[in-house]
Structure 1
């Protein structure tokens, strides 16, 4: 059985108060995690105010920031087998290669290279490799620059387009969970009473 420690006020909030009060408030339990919680918990600001008011009625509370705190419960996960990682890697590699080749076929990239060779040299050539090889190298370098990563190293401080999209996705997920998880908790509370 997995045992969890309680979610304390210091885990989700920054407290601005006297040191003695801060030490007492930081250890105030807000929620006890159980198996029923699955992997996401939403703690509403009003719950925090209620818990503080129950234990410390003379304390005035002002919430600054988002009205809900989303807690993700991370359980220990086993590593995927090497054959699965290799299989997925090969599948993605082949899929990306097919997508690039189909795009180049659709836009007649070979004909474009042949026409460019003819315009620059005045000769007809079926495979102008002096254009195709630098183009292929440039395509790879362009992908590296666009995604701003060479393996695990970032090229510059700017976020990559993928990181921006993941950030926007995470914000949308947090908003959705904050709204809908509270509805589920409120419905569970209404049905149990």
Structure 2
């Protein structure tokens, strides 16, 4: 008797080196309870030392494994047709010297960028003119505007990035997070197209 199951591949999963990947690790399955428990423990892939940090598991490999287990099962696939398996290796401890150098590079780089921008748009002259328009007096250093402006610039960046250190201000993603998400999506598509062995076929010259 033919049995129908529904599977949905996960977009990305993380695994350790030399780990075995079972069907439950990379898919969500809808089937009868007994059959689902059996399929969950179905071996799909074994990570070896020859594998790199990214492995693409195609839905055809999954269907083939299910058919090998029981050819009477009809598989209905929902969602993505590939799963990206990222092999996570032990991270080396961060060097305090490297962290300090990177921090100083980013700090002074961003500081010089802001200073150069303000110099290009003559921000100091704008503050001086605003001060004269309001008070009627000339002032080479209108701190009345410069201090609130500097504080507002920092607060504006905090609101823009929606983070204070690791704390999120609200549930809305920041523009940086959206750009990182779009970048990750494009990167995943590139990896799928270039690393998916099932979708690549080499034609040899005769």
**Fold conserved between structures, TM > 0.5:** yes
1:47 counterpart residue number = 61
1:60 counterpart residue number = 74
Query: C-alpha distance in 2, partners of 1:40/1:171?
Result: 15
How do residues 68-147 of structure 1 correspond to structure 2 at under 5 angstroms? 68-147=82-161
Q: Give deviations 1:65-117, integer Å, cap 9, x for gaps.
A: 01111111101111121111011001100000000000000000000000110
Aligned length: 189
For the residue of structure 1 that corresponds to 2:88, the secondary structure is coil
Q: Give deviations 1:11-67, integer Å, cap 9, x for gaps.
A: 010111111111111111111111222100111111111111011111110110011
Contact 2:23/2:44 (8 A) holds in 1: yes
Q: Report how far residue 184 of structure 1 moved.
A: 8.4
Q: Give deviations 1:134-193, integer Å, cap 9, x for gaps.
A: 0000000000000000111111110011111111111111111111111588458x88xx
Task: Return closer, same or farther for 1:94/1:144 CA change in 2, 3 Å cut-off.
Answer: same
Task: Return closer, same or farther for 1:102/1:56 CA change in 2, 3 Å cut-off.
Answer: same
Q: Report how far residue 123 of structure 1 moved.
A: 0.9
Instruction: Give the structure-1-normalised TM-score.
Output: 0.93
Q: Identify unmatched segments of 5+ residues in structure 2.
A: 1-15
Higher helix share: 1
Which runs of 4 or more aligned residues in structure 1 lie more than 2 Å from their structure 2 counterparts after TM superposition?
183-188
Q: Identify unmatched segments of 5+ residues in structure 1.
A: none
Query: C-alpha distance in 2, partners of 1:185/1:63?
Result: 17
1:11 counterpart residue number = 25
Query: C-alpha distance in 2, partners of 1:63/1:139?
Result: 50
Query: C-alpha distance in 2, partners of 1:86/1:42?
Result: 37
Query: C-alpha distance in 2, partners of 1:170/1:186?
Result: 22
Query: C-alpha distance in 2, partners of 1:48/1:79?
Result: 37
2:171 counterpart residue number = 157
- Point out which structure has higher relative CO (alpha carbons under 8 A, 6+ apart): 2
Query: C-alpha distance in 1, partners of 2:90/2:199?
Result: 26
CA RMSD across the alignment: 1.7
For the residue of structure 2 that corresponds to 1:127, the secondary structure is coil
Instruction: Give the structure-2-normalised TM-score.
Output: 0.87
Query: C-alpha distance in 2, partners of 1:29/1:183?
Result: 19
